[in-house]
């Protein structure tokens, strides 16, 4: 029986495959115990068994459908009540390539529940615990389509814009409490995501990254203290400039009067 890790435990959602399974591998090798969440218990057990054998870390399997309120509440309770947890990786998510005219609205609503609601509720469960302790790390997996929003399905892209925006806000609220929040924006990555999303050929495209490279880059970004990490963006200065301009723009909205460019029309209505 392995002893508890001094680093504590990382709870990873969507750990049965793809990016989440690589996070499990890398975090166990960095010395974290693991709590692995996804629906497929058999696959979770396979990941857990391998990592226990390879790393000697404690790995717990917590099967849960995060689209199911009761199951989600159980994971929230673990995050609130298990003092060994020092890291949350909000990774579970699904996508789609369907345009709005072809997408099933019930599937879109389920996507919002997983990509937004579950991620938000899990963050709300653990953030007060980490803040009270003055330590803890939350990693939220967004996507480059949270910025390149016209790509893929609109609800998917918007759900990832939410994760990016939510991350900025969390960073503001939690940084001074000693809690780290990193938002990761993978580009196309070779996982089963594309089978679920409806475009399997993307897995072998020349612009598609391996899940291993994606997670290793994301963890390098975490080690470097980045708040936002975009593994596939080579021109990092573009992000820095865009983010600086967003923050500058954010300071310009507080005006009781409309901008002059809208006044001419308002004045002519008044004169008529
Ligand atoms: P993946 O291999 O399909 O992994 C998705 C994971 O989420 C699986 O472990 C899946 O496990 C779990 N999951 C799905 N629905 C769930 C539910 N209702 N409850 C609990 N777990 C659920 O795809 P991936 O690429 O690694 O995706 C991981 C994250 O990366 C997602 O948030 C995705 O949006 C993001 N991302 C991916 C790409 C890409 O190109 N692959 C690009 C940008 C961002 P079960 O089926 O066992 O539940």
In a domain, 101, yes or no: yes
In a domain, 3, yes or no: no
Mean pLDDT of 176-181: 97
Answer for the pair 45, 20: CB distance below 8 angstroms, yes or no: no
- Ligand 1 pocket test, candidate residues 15, 37, 38, most atoms within 8 A of CB: 38
Q: Is the CB of 122 under 6 A from ligand 1?
A: no
**Per-residue pLDDT tens digits for 36-53:** 999 999 999 999 999 999
Whole-angstrom distance between the N-terminal and C-terminal Cα of the chain?
84
Query: How many domains is the chain partitioned into structurally?
Result: 1
Determine the Cα–Cα distance for residues 102 and 237; give it in Å rounded to an integer: 37
Q: Which domain holds residue 66?
A: 9-271
Full-model pTM: 0.96
**Per-residue pLDDT tens digits for 219-249:** 999 999 999 999 999 999 999 999 999 999 9
**What pLDDT does 100 receive?**
87
In a domain, 2, yes or no: no
CA distances from 101 to 104, 160, 269 (A): 9, 20, 38
**What pLDDT does 270 receive?**
61
Give percent of the chain above pLDDT 70.
97
In a domain, 1, yes or no: no
pLDDT greater at residue 270 or residue 44: 44
Residue 229: which CATH number?
3.40.50.720
In a domain, 4, yes or no: no
**What pLDDT does 182 receive?**
98
**Beta-carbon contacts of residue 140 (< 8 Å; ≥ 6 apart):** 90, 119, 123, 163, 166, 167, 181, 182, 183, 184
**What pLDDT does 3 receive?**
84
């Amino acid at each position: 029986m392995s002893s508890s890790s001094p680093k504590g435990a990382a709870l990873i959602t969507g750990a049965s495959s793809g990016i989440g399974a690589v996070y499990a591998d890398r975090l166990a090798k960095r010395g974290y115990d693991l709590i692995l969440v996804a629906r497929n218990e058999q696959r979770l057990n396979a990941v857990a068994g391998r990592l226990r054998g390879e790393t000697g870390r404690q790995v717990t399997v917590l099967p849960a459908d995060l689209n199911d309120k009761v199951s989600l509440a159980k994971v929230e309770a673990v995050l609130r009540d298990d003092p060994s947890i020092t890291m949350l990786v909000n990774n579970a998510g699904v996508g789609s390539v369907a345009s709005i005219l072809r997408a099933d609205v019930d599937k879109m609503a389920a996507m919002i529940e997983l990509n937004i609601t579950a991620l938000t509720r899990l963050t709300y469960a653990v953030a007060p615990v980490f803040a009270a302790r003055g330590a803890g790390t939350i990693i939220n997996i967004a996507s480059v389509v949270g910025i390149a929003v016209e790509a893929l399905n609109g609800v998917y892209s918007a759900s990832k814009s939410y994760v990016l925006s939510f991350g900025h806000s969390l960073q503001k609220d939690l940084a001074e409490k000693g809690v780290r929040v990193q938002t990761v924006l993978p580009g196309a990555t070779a996982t089963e995501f594309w089978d679920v999303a409806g475009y399997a050929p993307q897995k072998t495209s020349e612009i598609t990254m391996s899940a291993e490279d994606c997670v290793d880059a994301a963890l390098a970004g975490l080690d470097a203290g980045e708040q936002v990490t975009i593994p596939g963006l080579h021109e990092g200065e573009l992000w820095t400039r865009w983010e600086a301009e967003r923050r500058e723009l954010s300071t310009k909205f507080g005006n009781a009067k409309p901008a002059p460019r809208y006044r001419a029309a308002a004045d002519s209505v008044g004169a008529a």
